[in-house]
Amino acid sequence: MNRLIFDNSFTRELPADPEKANYRRQVTGACYSRVKPAPVAAPKLVACSLETAQLLDLSADACGRDEFTQIFSGNRLLPGMDPYAACYGGHQFGNWAGQLGDGRAINLGEIINRKSQRLTLQLKGAGSTPYSRNADGLAVLRSSVREFLCSEAMFHLGVPTTRALSLILTGEMVERDMFYDGHPKEEPGAVVCRVAPSFTRFGNFEIFASRNETGVLKQLLDYTIRTDFPDPGESVIPDTRGYIAPYPEKSVNRVYINWFEDVCRRTADMIAHWMRVGFVHGVMNTDNMSVLGLTIDYGPYGWLENYDPNWTPNTTDANGRRYRFGHQPSVAHWNLAQLANAIYPVVGDVDALQQALSVYASRFQEQWNIMVGAKLGLREFEPDTDKELANELFTILSLVETDMTIFFRRLALVDFSGYEEDGSYKSTESMVKKTENTGAGNAGKKPKPNSINRDLLPETLMDAYYVPEQLTDDYKNRMARWLKRYAQRITRDNLPHETRRVNMNSVNPKYVLRNYLAQLAIDKAEQEDFSMIHDLLETLRNPYSEQPDKEHFAIKRPDWARHRPGCSMLSCSS
């Protein structure tokens, strides 16, 4: 552990809060306040991500030592650590909320690993900070299990995300009112160590713009560009490290504009990935948006099980549904507009910022097309025909309770090789071919020539439906027509069935952290049985692979979980 190399540029290069005492207050003119984690009574390691440990050059043996548990519970600081809580603001549910800041997160410091990558270590639930407002800065096991598992699940799904190193019980109880209904109870406390190149959020810039602290705003912006975006790539121009020369009055500072365009692209990519796997963040406030385009702050998130674009997992959002699944791309665009407003005092050019903001829409549409084409197993997305084909499918999926994850995995199993390009059959067996994990179903029936029999929807798709009784004749006819068009489309691609299946299964996961699975793991953990946490962590390391001994983690949400707290709706309480 003592071999970790700390290089704390954030605290070294940016202005600090001069007040040393740790009490709740408004902090002005500073990017952070130094604060130490609160010691805990009896830390106990619950789980550790070995992949994240490897990022930090830590061995499995090091993670199992008591020293590791003491450090990442907040009981001990290593030489070189310079703990602090960051100051930021944010728009919450569309309204400016003023100063927010790291209310229950404490950054231990930044390390440089063997690959020269900069990584910030952050404890969530490690005690109060000047930004805690009326809260205690602590976290409970319930929310910590969800954050730990989802951070790692998202990484293995290929979604840009912060990482989770460890989950540690504190040995102390924390009082929480889970649904803010006047029924608080004590829950086990826990601490998660989160890891990311940076935890800088849109709100870090907003707070200084709101206070007209343009000097600090520019310091933070310059620091972020040279530290977190050091590779010029296609967006940030070279030679920005250390100093950004002023541009003539009324001209555009291309460094800042190019940086903002990069943030727009990264955000678009992240949202497209969310939509691909059916992830609903639940609380897309601007203080929960990373400038690096990473999924950050796993609070009341959820996984879209039955496909419903209007679903949100957040009880606080139940009425307005601002952060519903289908609205996430629009919310991200709105949030980026707030970031543009925040950096305007430094950039000074509205037209350039608006033009840069338009990069988000074009990039998201590009990524959406690529994503949809991949989910459908197409060689290439052809907007003239494929846009309507995809839109019709998503409309059909929303008509009845259809498990999104299972539907796309099972669609990959359907062998359409018996179709001619005009939709007629070469054989009558392709659509009813028995496949893995499905029954023979209607295998003995034969469809009418040149049509898909509405009573003969592929048997392999049937397991995706939660309530088969919802499959009316009108629905079956509509789905049958879509399948015929889809068959014509993929026949034109002339891809072998097995190639299409492999391609689709590489982007459509079989295993996601379904809400009820996370809750079952929490239930066991609260009884000091951590086995399901480890089982899920192991399974979710390979979300696209067939894992015959893990099939029970790939089934639909059981009916008992339909309305159970933690399985359907969640609050921000943690």
Task: Measure the CA–CA gap between 142 and 131, rounded to whole angstroms.
Answer: 23
Distance, CA of 497 to CA of 150 (rounded, Å): 33
Kindly state the tokens that stand for 46.
Answer: 């619950």
Bridge partners for 106 per DSSP: 123
CB-based contact 205:222 (threshold 8 Å) = no
Residue 111 CA to residue 115 CA, distance in Å, equals: 11
Instruction: Work out the angle at residue 269's Cα, subtended by the Cα atoms of residues 543 and 332, and round it to the nearest 5 degrees.
Output: 115
239 tagged catalytic: no
Can you read off the two tokens belonging to residue 492?
């034109």
Neighbour count for residue 244 (Cβ, 10 Å): 18
10 Å Cβ neighbour count for 484? 18
What would the two tokens of residue 160 be? 């840009």
Going by C-beta distance under 8 Å and a sequence separation of 6 or more, which residues neighbour residue 300? 282, 283, 313, 314, 315, 316, 569, 570, 571, 572
CA–CA separation, 246 and 509 (whole Å): 48
Q: For residue 431, list its beta bridge partners.
A: none
Instruction: Give which of 416, 435, 412 is closest to 426, Cα–Cα.
Output: 416
Q: For residues 566 and 574, give the distance between their C-alpha atoms in angstroms, rounded to a whole number.
A: 12
Separation of alpha carbons 426 and 95, rounded Å: 59
Name the DSSP class of 31. S
In the chain, the largest separation of any two C-alpha atoms, in whole Å, equals 80
Q: How far apart are CA 222 and CA 341, in angstroms?
A: 17
At residue 277, the 3 state secondary structure works out as: helix
Contacts of 474 (CB under 8 A, 6+ apart): none
DSSP-assigned letter for residue 161: B
CA distances 173 to 40, 141, 176, 279, 477, Å, are 11, 10, 10, 31, 56
- Residue 88 gets which letter from DSSP? -
Dist. CA 419–CA 480, nearest whole Å:
14
Report strand pairing: 84-86 vs 32-34. Answer: antiparallel
Instruction: Sort 478 into a burial class: Cβ within 10 Å, 0-12 / 13-18 / 19+.
Output: middle
Distance CA 410, CA 113 (A): 42
Residue whose C-alpha is closest to residue 291's, from 206, 170, 181: 206
Catalytic entry in 228, 287, 297, 317: 287
Q: Annotate 391-460 with DSSP letters as a single string.
A: HHHHHHHHHS-BBHHHHHHHHTT---TTB-TTS-BS-SSGGG---TT---TTTT--PPTTS--TT---GG
Catalytic residues: 287
